[in-house]
A and B are shown apart, each in its own frame.
Chain A
Amino acid sequence: MRHVISVLVNDQPRVLARVANLLGRRNFNIESISVGESEEEGLSRMVIVTQGDERTMEQIQKQLHKLVDVIKVQDLSEYASVERELLLVKVGAAPATRMEIKGIVEPFRAAVVDVGPNSMMVQATGERAKLDALLELLRPYGIKEMARTGVTALPRSVNKAAATTS
């Protein structure tokens, strides 16, 4: 099963290396890691997307906790949460197809953020699946370059009920 784990860590040099190293060494499978500032000065929030059964998830959490720089570990799959990823994609776009691409992009609430003679850059945010869907539609135009941030996430504010029903 897919899990999204939120890890609060000291904002220290190498802390990402420590976490990535631990996960790699223990042979845990990682889909994405993203890191950035958290609400508290001196702490970063790392969001890790991984696959595994209950036992593996328990080990991942416990092993992460062993790192001195790790303050808190939370498996967001146990909560109702908001997950987001940012996608930047440059698709082939001759002047004739520009409108067509715009039409595709709109329902996804994505935006065209750059236009070149033969290409356009589209920016989209959302859950992974939504971005995958958008990419599928853009693919026929030719994807020239692409970058994704990996998932970042936070639990929703109203959560207790969701946690028990899920």
Chain B
Amino acid sequence: MATVEQGVDQGKEAKEYTGSEILLRCLIEEGVEVAFGYPGGAVLPIYDSLYSSRLKHLLARHEQGAIHAADGYARATGKAGVVIATSGPGATNLVTGIANAQMDSIPLVCITGNVAQHLIGTDAFQEADITGITMPITKHSYLVTDVRDLPRVIKEAFHIATTGRPGPVLIDIPKDVSNAKATYSYPDSVSIRGYQPHADPHPLQVQRLHQAIAEASQPVILAGGGVVTSGAEEELIAFAEKAGIPVTTTLMGLGGFPGQHPLWLGMPGMHGTYAANHALLETDLLIGVGARFDDRVTMGRLDKFATGAKIVHIDIDPAEIGKNLDAYIPLVGDVKKVLATAIPGLRRSSSEAWIKQLEKWKQEKPYSFKDAEDTLKPQWVIRHLHETTKGKAVVTTDVGQHQMWVAQYFPFARPRSFITSGGLGTMGFGFPAALGAQVACPDEVVISVTGDGGFQMTNQELAVAAMANIPVKVAIINNHCLGMVRQWQEVFYQERYSEVDLSGSPDFVRLSEAYGVKAWRAKTKQEASDAWREALDHPGPAVIDFWVTPEENVYPMVAPGTGLDEMIMGDEAE
């Protein structure tokens, strides 16, 4: 039988598929489990092929929601998130999400439809030059002009998105390419001449690192998102413990080093801990590990940042080294590989007195706030979320005060458990990102901590939570204003509160219920803990509208343009 069939097969011409069928086959071949998206004219062929494909698709209510969900999925798993949007307005609605992923080095494959090639450049209906528009915010992009290129392009796109320093890759597919036919075969390997990420460290630089550590007495590790990206948490712990070096983790690095570890100093920078910031001021050896010395950490005041320190910079992206800060020891490579290579030859630094000093600061000047019995303090709510889940949750945030309070009062124990928009600071990111994270991790508790401002930027995605029964718990830290802006106006603009009042917002409980999502409101601690318990027990999506005191500020704070030595401390930490 087999031989007869073979004969028949050989006799026939190889089967042809349309571009859109090929696309979906390639996605399945790449191991894509779910795509987030929104249809439209230019992607009709793709959505038609999707109809009979086994690829799971979640229909967002706005392309921005779709791409943030794909981003949340990618952050929770480390795999590339996939988003599909139509040409023109669909594609331009992705722009914020693409920039967001680029700034935080998140692997995304963004598939956009475009008008047929004979219409490109004619200002046709729903035409936008999305490859041009997104050029500065993608790691790479493709405009596919021949259906036969599709498999190679998709293979390359996933490779580029997920390797080296990850990032978003855009594939723009004109409608005629989706409709055109070709035979299908998926390439096994990729070779891109101009793209050769450099993963292994230079042995000489590793030796110099050993030497520098042996000579240091006040070393500190600044660990960033690169630790999470490369999955280097175990290596980082082993490295820090063996060498006796305390660790501070940037916002993107939170969870990359356990928040309960005795060597952890907390987050540095604008809203960082006293101990972390003073460690950075006084260190004699600063080891940047997958961190880019961003201005929220250095305050852009390099003249006041680690001035007495030798700088070691470990990063997979050579362009990060020397971009903001000159490195005494540049170490280009994958963070996990670099640390693993460095650990065996590592000797302990003479850091006992230094660690004691930092420990003292940690004890004396922790994050603190004035709690109250009769009102609900936002910091209390975050601490409560941590206590009740014992930290076993994936938490996403939006941008603003609540984001900083999560960073401060929810000590993350494991990587990929904190999902936040660090680089771009995108309001509206957190809730859809939580949906993506929950799809990726169905057995985890996923909490979307958001502001009453940020939630209103993408709250239409409640429909997705309801429709697909995604059991995300949304904790709105509702201070009835644009809290972080209000704080800046209070501190830097003489309390001239310009356009930060959010009265006129909907009743979030009724809004959620309108979408078929269960919701609670809490104005006191008792109500808060009751509502939270019920929400956790509820098997589906849930929204809790926590009415917190509006005048609370995030402390400590370092004003922009000042150095880390000029921290404004909070109420109780003076």
Residues of chain A touching chain B, judged by Cβ–Cβ distance below 8 Å, are 9-10, 13-14, 17-18, 21-22, 25, 55, 58-59, 62-63, 65-71
Q: Report how far A11 CA is from B279 CA in the complex, Å.
A: 49
Q: Which residue of B143, B317, B321 contacts A66 across the interface (Cβ within 8 Å)?
A: B317
Contact A17:B160 (CB < 8 A) given known A55-B322, A59-B322, A59-B323: no
Q: Report how far A117 CA is from B160 CA in the complex, Å.
A: 59
Q: How far is the CB of B352 from chain A (nearest CB, A)?
A: 37
Q: Are A68 and B140 in contact (CB under 8 A)?
A: yes
Q: Are A69 and B319 in contact (CB under 8 A)?
A: no
Contacts of B319 in A (CB 8 A): 59, 62-63, 65-66
B131 interface residue (CB < 8 Å to A):
yes
Q: Report how far A137 CA is from B131 CA in the complex, Å.
A: 46
Contacts of B135 in A (CB 8 A): 14, 17-18, 21
B125 interface residue (CB < 8 Å to A):
no
For B152-179 the 0/1 string (1 means CB < 8 A from A) is 0000000010000000000000000000
Starting from the known contacts A22-B136, A67-B140, A68-B192, 7 additional A-B residue pairs (CB-CB under 8 Å) come to A55-B322, A55-B326, A59-B322, A62-B318, A62-B319, A62-B323, A65-B318
Q: Report how far A117 CA is from B50 CA in the complex, Å.
A: 69
Q: Report how far A66 CA is from B322 CA in the complex, Å.
A: 15
Q: Report how far A13 CA is from B144 CA in the complex, Å.
A: 11
Q: Is the interface of A mostly helix, strand, loop or mixed?
A: helix
A-B contact pairs, 23 of them (CB 8 A): A10-B193, A10-B194, A14-B132, A14-B135, A14-B143, A17-B132, A21-B136, A55-B322, A55-B326, A59-B322, A59-B323, A62-B318, A62-B321, A62-B322, A65-B318, A65-B319, A66-B317, A67-B194, A68-B139, A68-B194, A69-B194, A71-B193, A71-B194
Q: Report how far A18 CA is from B323 CA in the complex, Å.
A: 20
Residues of chain B touching chain A, judged by Cβ–Cβ distance below 8 Å, are 131-132, 135-136, 139-140, 143, 160, 192-195, 317-319, 321-323, 326
Q: Are A13 and B143 in contact (CB under 8 A)?
A: yes
Q: Report how far A10 CA is from B321 CA in the complex, Å.
A: 26
Contacts of A58 in B (CB 8 A): 322
Contacts of A62 in B (CB 8 A): 318-319, 321-323
Q: Report how far A63 CA is from B317 CA in the complex, Å.
A: 10
Q: How far is the CB of B258 from chain A (nearest CB, A)?
A: 33
Q: How far is the CB of A27 from chain B (nearest CB, A)?
A: 12
Contacts of B317 in A (CB 8 A): 66
Contacts of A69 in B (CB 8 A): 194
Contact A14:B194 (CB < 8 A) given known A63-B319, A66-B317: no
Contacts of A22 in B (CB 8 A): 136
